Amino acid sequence: MQELAYVVADVADLGAWRTFVERVLGAGLVDTPDGVTVRLDERAARLVLRRAELDGPVVAGWEVAGERAARDLAARAGVAAIPGGPQEAAARGVDGFVAFDDPAGQRLELCWGPFETAEPFVGARPHGGFRTGELGLGHAVWSLDEAGPARRFYQDVLGFRPSDYATVPGELYFFHVNPRHHSLALGQLGFVGLHHLMVEVLDFDDLGRSYDAAIEGGWPIISSLGRHTNDHVTSFYVRTPSNWAVEVGWGGRLILDEAAWEVRELTEGPSLWGHERTWVSDEMKVRQRELRHQAAAQNLRAPLHLPGRTAADVDGVPLR
């Protein structure tokens, strides 16, 4: 397993999505016969949004070394993998893929041979770009009725490696497949489906500009600006037109030494500061605030992880 390559979703309000992608994410948008494709980098497709009557479940495309690897993994999973057609593969910007369901009934795809476009990434507004490459598109967090079987499936069958986990204030299991701290998380958040997709910007100022655009456009911010305790990402969460959220983040830590990495339980809560959530119960809000107060009282801090860029690399007008 190499990376989260893309996500595919049927969306009911393509017009709202266009505005969301252009204004809030500042990403590139390409019209297709079925909807739109979102570009975050040199790859042809990172989000494939298809026009539909109703919003559909989000399908993750996980990249493997090749067709053989995909078929071997599907066989190991003991599932009948549905081969993707050439047109469907082209829409996802890959040579091919197979599809099947995880134990929670969530569809996933194993893909290979991503192709790059001849054109460099151009955002809908001046944008420093997204942190992808070997780290993949970002991360996806799913809520399931029962996390256990899916957890074992992703870990033991598909080879996702545990990063860390939380049991308080809710159960959440984080997994990595490359140096990104997590590309997948599974939890029980009271519904079945994608909770959020995280995309990481290279330049800190683009995080702020996305935040501004979300506020100005009246997009529901379901988690205020804050910093996570496990991946150290500074981010906010905004609800998309399809009800699931996008986390726009910056400065994630990497797991570079796999042998030295210790899987631990996150006892200090999900966030060092911020991330005031609109979508949790009042009781949970109080609990999460208590955890943040504790983190502050204990003087907990996380190092900054500059994503491989110095001031000289920032493709913009430097502020004096």
Say whether residue 222 binds Fe ion (CB under 5 A): no
Q: Residue 167 in 3-state DSSP? A: coil
CB 103 within 8 A of CB 149: yes
**Choice from 63, 200, 206, 247 touching Fe ion (CB under 5 A):** 247
The two structure tokens encoding residue 209? 């500009």
C-alpha to C-alpha distance for 179 and 238, rounded to whole angstroms: 25
Q: Which is nearer to Fe ion, 18 or 46 (CB)?
A: 46
Nearer to Fe ion, 39 or 228 (CB): 228
Interface stretch with Fe ion, choices 24-32, 202-210, 245-253, 269-277 (CB under 5 A): 245-253
Find the shortest distance in angstroms from Cβ 196 to Fe ion. Answer: 6
Q: Under a CB-based contact definition with an 8 Å cutoff, are residues 233 and 251 in contact?
A: yes
Answer yes or no: are the C-beta atoms of 207 and 224 closer than 8 Å. Answer: no
CA atoms within 13 A on the CB side of 56: 17
In the complex, least distance from residue 278 CB atom to Fe ion, rounded to whole angstroms: 16
| Least gap, CB of 49 to Fe ion (angstroms) | 20
CB of 232 to Fe ion, least distance (A): 12
Complex with Fe ion: residue 59 or 198, whichever CB lies closer: 198
Among 3-11, 88-96, 102-110, 246-254, which window interacts with Fe ion (CB under 5 A)? Answer: 246-254
In the complex with Fe ion, the residue whose CB is nearer, 63 or 247, is 247
Is the sign of the CA dihedral 263, 236, 223, 194 positive or negative?
negative
Task: State in angstroms the smallest separation of the CB of 151 from Fe ion.
Answer: 17
Of 40 and 99, the one with the shorter C-beta distance to Fe ion is: 40
| Virtual torsion, Cα 151, 152, 153, 158, nearest 10 deg | 100
- DSSP secondary structure, 173-202, as one string: EEEESSSBS-SEEEE--SSSEEEEEEEEES
Least separation in angstroms between residue 222's CB and Fe ion is: 12
Contact present, 39 and 81 (Cβ < 8 Å): no
Nearest residue (CB) to Fe ion, 109 versus 247: 247
Choose one: 30-38, 62-70, 146-154, 247-255; the region binding Fe ion (CB under 5 A). Answer: 247-255
Compute the least distance from the CB of residue 141 to Fe ion, in Å. Answer: 5
# binding residues, Fe ion (CB under 5 A): 2
Of residues 26, 36, 254, the one with CA closest to residue 128:
26
Q: Which is nearer to Fe ion, 183 or 242 (CB)?
A: 183
Beta bridge pairs of residue 140:
184, 197
Count of H-run helices and E-run strands, the chain = 6, 18
Q: At 256, list the tokens.
A: 């570079």
Which residue in 38, 98, 198, 201 binds Fe ion (CB under 5 A)?
198
Minimum distance, C-beta of residue 136 to Fe ion, in the bound complex (Å): 14
Give the footprint of Fe ion on this chain (CB under 5 A). 198, 247
